[in-house]
Amino acid sequence: MLLQLSLLFVLGLLVGSFLNVVAYRLPKGESLVFPGSNCRDCSHALGPLDLIPVLSFLLLYGRCRYCRAPIPWRYPITEIVTGVYFFLAGLTWGFKPILVRQLVCGTILILAAQVDLATLTIPDPLTLGGSVLALFLPPGPHWVYLLGGVTNFLLLSCLTWASHGGIGQGDIKLSLALGLFLGWPFSLVALILAFFFGASVGIVLLLARLKRRNDVVAFGPFLALGGIIAGLWGRDLLELYLTTFWR
């Protein structure tokens, strides 16, 4: 079991490395395959030793081998986060078909968070493409997943209408994909967590005067965080809530 989980962690590191490429190129409409990975500053092609997740960053002291330009910290952070998520997903769900669903869901959420933080947008190929993919991943189409998607979509659409556009269309579409992946009632747990984390961070930013009341704050990362937690421990959180408040 430990060997399998370790392999999942390594797979997550590799997937996270690819997500860094996708997060940079997808919003620009560039090919995800050609050209190969290169330095954003000097455009020099990166060799295999430059592309080892996390380790290359450490060995190169966070700088490009060829021009010494700094490598963004979000690259190794994304790799580590994805690796840890893959490990925890395997630990939580075991090596069953549904694990594929959880891994794909987490991958989309991590990528959406990274893109939203950088551009304040979430591309349709991630949200709508993810929604379609969620319908066919194991255990396949089921009313529980459809209910989760529809509920999330309607809730955020109503909140957007009530707040006169306070929530972006990309966030609404991401919530749809999130609901279709997690299903009811875990989709609702994800939304509650997302709003809790979003409100908490927003208050801190306002008190620290890092943001003003009308400044735009990316909500995608909070949806991603809520979705990942709900996907891993949603059942435990529900049981804790029910046993605490509904006994």
- In angstroms, how far is CA 71 from the centroid of its own chain? 21
Q: Which 3 state secondary structure label does DSSP give 38?
A: strand
Q: Summarize pLDDT for 203-246 with one digit per residue, the tens.
A: 998 888 888 877 788 899 999 999 999 999 999 999 888 888 77
What's the pLDDT at 2? 87
- Interatomic CA distance for residues 20 and 15, integer angstroms: 9
35 cis-preceded (ω within 30 degrees of 0):
yes
Q: What is the pLDDT of residue 171?
A: 94
Residues 6+ apart with CB under 8 A from 226: 189, 190, 191, 192, 193, 194, 195, 196, 197
Residue 139: count other Cβ atoms within 10 Å of its Cβ.
12
Output Rg (C-alpha) for the chain, integer angstroms.
Answer: 19
Q: What pTM was computed for the model? A: 0.94
User: What pLDDT is attached to residue 247?
Assistant: 65
Give the CA diameter of the chain: 63
Beta bridge pairs of residue 205 = none
Stretches in the chain below the pLDDT threshold 50: none
Q: What is the DSSP letter of 70?
A: B
Helix (H) or strand (E) holding 233: helix 220-245
> CA-to-CA distance for 41 and 20, rounded, in angstroms?
15
Please state whether the peptide bond connecting residue 139 to the residue before it is cis, i.e. omega within 30 degrees of 0: yes
* Rounded Cα distance, 57 and 115, in Å: 21
Structure tokens that stand for 120 in this block:
């304040």
